[in-house]
Amino acid sequence: MRRPFSNLQRWPLVVPRVPAPASRWGRATGFVLGLLFLGLALATPGVASGPVRALVAAVALLPLGFAVRPTRKAHRPSGTQVEANATGLVRVSPDDATPLLEWDRPFGVTLLASFGRPVALLAFTSRTQTRYVPVRIDDRTEQDDELFAKIAVLADLDLVDGVAHDAALTSASGAAIVRHVASRDEAALARAFLSDGRMKPIALDRATLSVGAKTFDLTSPLEWRSLMFHESAGQGAALYQATRITQGPNEVVLVAPMPASIVPREGNAARDASGRLGRALTRHLKLLQAPAETPPLRDLRVAIDRPFMLAVRRILDEAPLAIRVVPGPTPPRPRTERRGSLA
């Protein structure tokens, strides 16, 4: 039986704040005044001694420091916060309150992150909804880094770049929320609730994958493989990613649009894949590898949200008795020994 939480906790969402830099005129004035004061002071008789000269130099450096001081980033509260109360998590803003999850109903939490991006998304899923809250991950501690790595899934850049300038939780606040959620239900850190295009439920945890009426036991032998395929859509063709799962008589093909870009083009992507979170995202790259095949039968297809395709593959890859089927290279066609008569 879950014990009720009577204490109220809040974590603010913040936005970057860059102090307005001094004007060019102010910087130039400070620089000139600093040099002028230093020159006049040193040229005045009686300041040749070492201590006095050092004091004069320190005073003169004040306007010089004003002229060359760097602007530093800071954060300010956005007016929105995540609140944990006796019933669940709520995102509270000056205009409204949006429930994220309820303690007495099954829920899951996933971190959608990408290489070299300072902001990720905490996805709170339940049987009725999916809610996203941005969280900064560029100032995470070692403890927070380890926690985020446990729930992270590599996400496409369009998703995380779309919230780069939005109000977000700090790393410390995001980790505190995840720990608070885990204190209510630790299994939620490896759980996700989705739905297909017809709103049929999909539930995933470390032991079971349920897709509509089909249930796959992840603690028993099963086979899965990733693939991609093209399909005509009007005047063009759309590219899809898919995961085929087979266990006994049950078979399903999870399908989602292929992300436009999932690995940054910047050359420092490998450098930014640091810490346990970065290493976890790097391991997820292999889950993207998929051969091109003919489109699967429509009766087997189940559409899912694109950000969660790798979440499904991550759980399948970690299932102890699941076997990932990797198709081998296509064998070469036999060469025709005789193409025609030479007579």
In a domain, 338, yes or no: no
How would you label 314-336 residue by residue, b for 16+ Cβ within 10 Å and e otherwise? bbbbebeebeeeeeeeeeeeeee
In a domain, 260, yes or no: yes
At 293-315, the pLDDT tens digits run 999 999 999 999 998 999 999 99
| Strand ranges inside 149-282, DSSP E | 152-154, 168-169, 192-195, 201-204, 208-211, 214-217, 222-233, 236-247, 250-257
Q: Are 89 and 168 within one domain?
A: yes
**pTM of the prediction?**
0.77
Q: Are 162 and 256 within one domain?
A: no
Q: Are 219 and 162 within one domain?
A: no
Its domain, for residue 62, covers 20-68
pLDDT above 50 for 20: no
In a domain, 169, yes or no: yes
At 277-288, the pLDDT tens digits run 999 998 898 898
Q: Are 147 and 227 within one domain?
A: no
In a domain, 165, yes or no: yes
Q: Which of 136, 164, 189 is the last residue of a domain?
A: 189
pLDDT for 78 equals: 82
In a domain, 319, yes or no: yes
The count of structural domains within the chain is 3
Q: How many Å apart are CA 322 and CA 324, to the nearest integer?
A: 7
Q: Are 136 and 177 within one domain?
A: yes
Do the beta carbons of residue 118 and residue 164 sit within 8 Å? yes
pLDDT above 70 for 267: no
Q: Are 64 and 86 within one domain?
A: no
Q: Which of 68, 88, 104 is the last residue of a domain?
A: 68
